[in-house]
Structure 1
Amino acid sequence: MAVKKNSTFRLLSLFLLITTLCAESFVPLRRFLFVNKKSSWTKAQHYCRKYYTDLATIRNQDETGALLNLIKNGGWIGLYRKTPKSDWSWSGGEAADVTQWEVENNDTGRNCVFNFNEKGKLWRAKNCMTAQPFFCHDEEMFLVKEKRSWEEALEHCRSTAATVIRGPPYVRPRRSRLYDLASLASGWDRHRAQDLIQEALTDQIWSGLRFLGDRWLWVSGQRKKSRQLPLCPAWWQRCGSLHRNNSIHWEARSCREKRNFLCSRRAQ
């Protein structure tokens, strides 16, 4: 009996270890990029959101290490506060769980953070208008903690890292889109989304699911089959959302509702 209990315990321990390893494999490190272009913090944020995902946001010590590998003379990261009395938060709205201050500065004129590698791996608060190089990050899928309608969310995702491709003078310039509202067609996408939406500020989160014609479709063009969604929804409830506490439950909602939303990189 004791042998059987020990065997069961070992199998359970192995199962938990494998489960943990598999879960961690679904959370890849962000790709960090150093931009050697001196800008104010706000202009740096605009640049990163236009060409990548956002100003560098650091979630854990592993990502701190990845960013430090790029540091030469330092640069802006995505940490800031709205006023001297506000809490520090990241450009995308996340709370600052990881911090590495040189000295936490309460100076009223220093509300943005500069990352440098002098005498250690430290952060320093600076005036947001100071021109500095900066760090951006890029990732496959991300949560936007802003309240937008479905159409507004779609436009936000599509404008992230978008570039204008110009051809001959007689051809109208076209926009190359790198991101879209998230199409959660694969198991990997749904698993990643489940992790991300736990941080949402709204109960319902927009994805790239829309009823068009006579079927539910992802913005990527793939068809979505689900018993949870009506076969013929009311005309004002033709956008698909998922619940923060249940990422496998889909609901047909009014496209005008203001929700947080998921963006993901388009397949190339």
Structure 2
Amino acid sequence: MMERILLGVFFLSECLILSTSVLRQFYFVNQSLNWTEAQTYCRQKYTDLVTIRNSEETNQLMNTLSSAGHSSEVWIGLFSEIDWRWSDGFTGSGAEYRNWRSESNEPNFISGKDLCVITSISGLWFDVKCSEKRQFICYKGTQLDPNFVYVSQSMNWPSAQRFCRENFVDLASVRNETENQSILKSWSSGHFPWLGLYRDPNVYWSDGSSFLFSNWYNGKIPLGSMRIVCGVTSIQLSGSWKLLSCETRLPFVCYKLPVKKQVVKLRLKTEDSVDLNDPVLKENILKKLQDRLKEDEVSGITLKWRGQLDGEVFRKEKLKEP
């Protein structure tokens, strides 16, 4: 019976989507706080740290900063969790070994796309785009006693991973300097082959919005050994995004959703035995609707029933006589 009721109720969600077209209001806050403090401030005073969902909101943010006379960096609601992992899933002793090239601030996340790792003939590592075609290093044997194999075919990182898994064990994991030096003996200079180290983007918005639109700064974004980094933008960056230590103290921009109430009348056809005013049933209907809105990536809407004078929400209609 519940399923039959909800077929009619889904009509309500389609009507409510219309109310999300209201323009968000942006507020520049000229206080220097770290990212977490700025997030708390925005949630207490407004809705949250600002989320940028498209180019129009980028322009709106730039206008907000321009009106405030502020051109340097500000916090936005963007943050990223940096979790480097090995292709073979190794997490034992030595899994945290890294040999980044410090002179170029590796890993440096250029254009927000450097998610896979290569090595050089000097044994120093770089993060680059996973789509690049490069030679690579597999291993055979076991995780604790690997025998490294250099493959001279050029493939992107996912294809190299698949090749290693089909023909050997996996892309190479490197647990210490001894293994790093052992890899260097397997090829000549002039190539920068893939290792098994990679990470997922893991980019999020403070308010839980889906990460669909991106506007990364087209340059180096040094990440070093940081595990959590937070997003900034500025007029100087033309609205593009960089990542900094979340402990940096900066001004920030909040947003607020204008309150707009919309009453939608709903007619449902049910069996006589179903009491739509039952509190549990009403709560279940609201939950189903809220879940549907979330699936459709609609945010900023709070659903509640509007009671009549007697406190009831639904009334039975009298059947019209034929």
**Structure with larger Rg:** 2
TM range (shorter): 0.3 to 0.5
Where relative contact order (Cα < 8 A, 6+ residues apart) is larger, the structure is 2
Scaled by the length of structure 1, what TM-score is found? 0.48
